[in-house]
Amino acid sequence: GENVEQHPSTLSVQEGDSAVIKCTYSDSASNYFPWYKQELGKGPQLIIDIRSNVGEKKDQRIAVTLNKTAKHFSLHITETQPEDSAVYFCAANPGSARQLTFGSGTQLTVLP
């Protein structure tokens, strides 16, 4: 089945700096890659997603890039703010299974 690896596991940045989280996946049939933000005591909330026919997608301070050849995708957050502090998960939708496989998560801390 699909295997998603995520790095780093923890990331601390100064407010206003950029943060980058990287994921790799194993199933070449995967073609949907969402990113979720999970705050303490809450379920994962979708923040951005990308489909395999697109190489990059941007939504205000958040962007995602996808390299299908290398099977990796990344989340970029610019001008970070303290409220961006949370756990971020990448995921991939493998083949026809119509289910998500998640990475292990990145604890992002934005220092004021």
Partner 1 sequence: EAGVAQSPRYKIIEKRQSVAFWCNPISGHATLYWYQQILGQGPKLLIQFQNNGVVDDSQLPKDRFSAERLKGVDSTLKIQPAKLEDSAVYLCASKQGQARYGYTFGSGTRLTVV
The binding site for partner 1 (CB under 8 A) comprises 4, 6, 31-32, 34, 36, 41-46, 49, 51, 89, 91, 93, 97-105
Apex 43 CA angle, 38 and 48, nearest 5? 55
Classify the phi-psi angles of 104: left when phi > 0, otherwise alpha if psi is within -120 to 50, otherwise beta: alpha
Which residue number, 78 or 102, has a Cβ lying nearer to partner 1? 102
Cα separation, 38 vs 27, whole angstroms? 25
Structure letter (DSSP) for residue 59: E
Closest CB 14 distance from partner 1, rounded Å = 25
Which residue number, 78 or 109, has a Cβ lying nearer to partner 1? 109
Which residue number, 26 or 78, has a Cβ lying nearer to partner 1? 26
Closest CB 89 distance from partner 1, rounded Å = 5
Apex 57 CA angle, 44 and 27, nearest 5? 65
Closest CB 15 distance from partner 1, rounded Å = 25
